Homo-oligomer: A and B are copies of this chain.
Amino acid sequence: MKLSTRSTYGLRAMMAVAMDGSSGPVMVKEIAERHQLPANYLEQIMTPLRKGGLLAATRGAHGGYKLARAAQEITVREILETLEGSLELVECNEVACCGMQPDLCAVKDLLCEASRAMVEVLAQVTLADIVERQREKEAVSSALMYVI
C-alpha cells in the first residue's frame, strides 16, 4: 500500500514549483538537483501533471514549469489522483460485484467507506496549505538550529 516514488516525487516537484515559482518558471534540472532526484525520471513525471492541467510548461532557454492554477486551487487529492489514478481500494462506483449475487458487498461497502475517509483528508488540503505548513516546519527547524 505504499505510495509509489512516482507519486512522492511528483508531490515534491509540485511543492518545489509552488515554493520557487515566484521568480519565473522552475526547471526540472533545478528540482532534481535540489531534491536529489533523477532528472530524466522526474521529467517523465511532469508530463501527466502537465496533461492533467496542474502544471504549465514553457520550453526553450529560461523555460520551465509553473503552476497552471493558483496553489489554493490545487488539492493534494488532485495531484495524487493525477499521478496514481483512483486512490480507492476498490471500484466504489461499480454496481455489480462478484457476479450476480452481492457476495462481497458488505466488504466492498466497508472498503469504500475506508478509502473515502482517506481521500476526504487529502481533498481538504491544498498545495498552498502544504507549502505553508512546510515553511512553518522549516522556520521552527532553523530557529532550533540557532539555539543549539
Residues of A that sit less than 8 Å from B by CB: 1-3, 8, 11-12, 15, 35-36, 76, 84-91, 98-99, 101-107, 109-111, 113-115, 117-122, 125, 130-131, 133-134, 137-138, 141
Residue of A15, A35, A76, A110 with most partner-chain B CB within 10 A: A110
Q: Check A103/B35 contact, CB under 8 A, given A1-B89, A87-B1, A117-B120.
A: yes
B118, B130, B133, B141: the one within 8 Å of A115 (CB): B118
- Bound Cα distance A106, B103 (Å): 41
Tell me how far the C-beta of A124 lies from the nearest C-beta in chain B, rounded to whole angstroms.
10
Number of copies: 2
Asked if A3 contacts B101 (CB within 8 A), the reply is no
- Bound Cα distance A141, B103 (Å): 11
Tell me how far the C-beta of A110 lies from the nearest C-beta in chain B, rounded to whole angstroms.
6
- Bound Cα distance A45, B118 (Å): 27
Q: Which 6 pairs, one residue from A and one from B, show the smallest C-beta to C-beta distance?
A: A118-B118, A106-B134, A106-B133, A114-B121, A117-B117, A3-B89
| Contacting residues, chain B, for A121 (C-beta < 8 A) | 110, 113-114, 117
